Chains A and B, each alone.
Chain A
């Protein structure tokens, strides 16, 4: 709890220091949104062991839901964010049967097929803007207009600061949820399902039920992050939700340390910020970035911050 508050305070302090730097704040918001999405993936993959190579798709379902609702209905935007999460969770139910029936590589293939299917669906669907995508109106929550710069007396800050506050809030809630889940009987049951389904079933753990719960809760967080991201960018298109993006989500999880929310937060920052910091070396930056990722996985196979042992007492 104290660690979390400190981290949140640090993020806020950095954002305030950089308050006039649009690009820096945009990057920081993206990191927070990706953390939220990866928290969802962590519940699925890190705890229940349900692989999901369609992370970007569920992110996209949240985004498209937000776009359609914000454009053509008067639903308050805060609810739209939540509905975006719910829509992703609902889309996940299409995958429930194959996810329960398959394991390992096969499960990965099923989710990849699902990602391709949805991408095509976004692309050919004219109501969703086809390959050109859709624009979103400005995000408004209560009296706050998110695309207006902040000017109070002599204090001036980029409008991105509002997005930082909102995404920090949601990421913090997601964090609290995931930490509590891990330190609960459900967390123990999910770990047992991941490690040994036969042992789990022998001791009464309803394997199918908890996999569905983990998959659905995870997709909700991913969809919520996707809806927020769509509002912030103001525009969505199928290209934003490619298989490559899904792979980045999964690699953040592995790089950070599967099952550790702190690890995936650190890895989100590394994966999103490092290529930007390496701008000076131009084209070579992705080469260097790839080398860093390979080195980390080679010398720290459990990730940057391996998951610590659960302490319930």
Chain B
């Protein structure tokens, strides 16, 4: 199997602070990688460098064998990388369906002519996306699939998380980046969300996931491999059971002597 994502010596500095330092990381196609580490260890910075929000100060990222270092967030998304955010970034005044349309941006026609004048293709794409959106949301929560035309502000936190994940999934990305899906949710809710994501993964086939998570039970259950970051450096890598026994990880992260 070849690596879908390959990072070599990836680094990012903010002034004198090295938020990410010399990270080498491979993710196999179809794998689930856990990314853990204390607050400020560079996990979200890694996502932001990967998706083009922060240019890397050094190093290289290969996605499906192609360098994507230095590309804009828009281009990285078009190549098949979609993400969620630690803090919810749904457009709350818009309908749930509008939010899912944003996730599907790269598959929709945005030419002025077909949006303003000849709108047949537009209507077809709306219907198609609506059907796909219903199908996708139904996997996560069947009743929610009937509420797509309601404002996103009206649904509870757990449903907002689900919609954020659906917004990332609807364009059928090859790589899904989940930034702490458990934030603001109970452990059971997070578990259910992760199970649903894995169900979508098995349906889509070939979806690769990188998961940032503080909830160790979640990491233990869904990831095949973990990378531990501390002060921007990789300090351990392996299956959760292994790294949980590593003394440096216990010291840095689990707070155990």
Listed in ascending order, the chain A residues whose CB lies under 8 Å from chain B are 177, 180-181, 184-186, 188-189, 191-192, 195-196, 198-206, 213, 309-313
Contact = CB atoms under 8 A, between A and B. Distances in A.
B115 to A, nearest CB: 4
A213 B112 CA distance: 10
Contacts of B116: 177, 180-181, 184, 186
Interface stretch (B32-40, B86-94, B204-212, B235-243): B86-94
29 contacts: A184-B116, A185-B105, A185-B109, A185-B110, A186-B110, A189-B102, A189-B105, A191-B94, A191-B98, A195-B92, A195-B94, A198-B85, A198-B89, A199-B85, A199-B89, A199-B90, A200-B102, A201-B73, A202-B89, A203-B103, A203-B105, A204-B73, A204-B77, A205-B102, A205-B105, A213-B112, A310-B94, A311-B95, A313-B127
Contact of B102 (A181, A203, A213, A311): A203
A184 B119 contact: yes
Contacts of B112: 186, 213
Given A186-B110, A188-B102, A312-B126, A203 B95 contact: no
Interface of B: 51, 53, 72-74, 77-78, 82-83, 85, 89-95, 97-98, 101-103, 105-106, 108-110, 112, 115-116, 119, 122, 125-127, 130, 149, 151, 167, 171
Contacts of B53: 198, 201
A177 B115 CA distance: 10
Given A202-B73, A202-B77, A204-B77, A180 B106 contact: no
Contacts of A205: 74, 102, 105
Contacts of B103: 203
Contacts of A311: 95, 149
A313 B105 contact: no
B74 A309 contact: no
A204 B78 contact: yes
Contact of A192 (B74, B102, B119, B125): B102
A180 B72 CA distance: 30
B204 to A, nearest CB: 18
A280 B122 CA distance: 53
Nearest to B74: A204
A192 B149 contact: no
A203 B99 CA distance: 10
B47 to A, nearest CB: 10
B102 A310 contact: no
A129 B108 CA distance: 50
B102 A309 contact: no
Contacts of B82: 202-203
A195 B92 CA distance: 8
Nearest to B164: A199
Given A203-B167, A204-B77, 19 more contacts: A184-B115, A185-B109, A185-B115, A185-B122, A186-B116, A188-B94, A189-B105, A195-B93, A196-B91, A199-B89, A203-B77, A203-B82, A204-B74, A204-B106, A205-B102, A311-B149, A312-B101, A312-B126, A313-B130
Contact of B95 (A192, A206, A310): A310
B76 to A, nearest CB: 9
Contacts of B95: 309-311
A205 B51 CA distance: 14
Contacts of B73: 201-202, 204
Given A180-B115, A184-B115, A202-B83, A192 B91 contact: yes
B149 A313 contact: yes
Interface centre among A180, A188, A203 (most CB of B within 10 A): A203
Contacts of B115: 180-181, 184-186
Nearest to B52: A201
Interface centre among B102, B103, B105, B171 (most CB of A within 10 A): B102
A240 to B, nearest CB: 32
B80 to A, nearest CB: 11
B98 A310 contact: yes
Contacts of B151: 309
B247 to A, nearest CB: 38
A186 to B, nearest CB: 5
A50 to B, nearest CB: 17
Q: Which 6 A-B pairs have the closest CB atoms?
A: A184-B115, A195-B91, A199-B89, A201-B73, A204-B77, A204-B105
A196 B87 CA distance: 12
A180 B130 CA distance: 19
Given A201-B74, A203-B167, A204-B74, A312 B97 contact: yes
A309 B97 CA distance: 11
Nearest to A205: B105
A199 B77 contact: no
A189 B110 CA distance: 9
A256 B227 CA distance: 53
B212 to A, nearest CB: 15
Nearest to A311: B149
B211 to A, nearest CB: 17
A206 B74 CA distance: 7
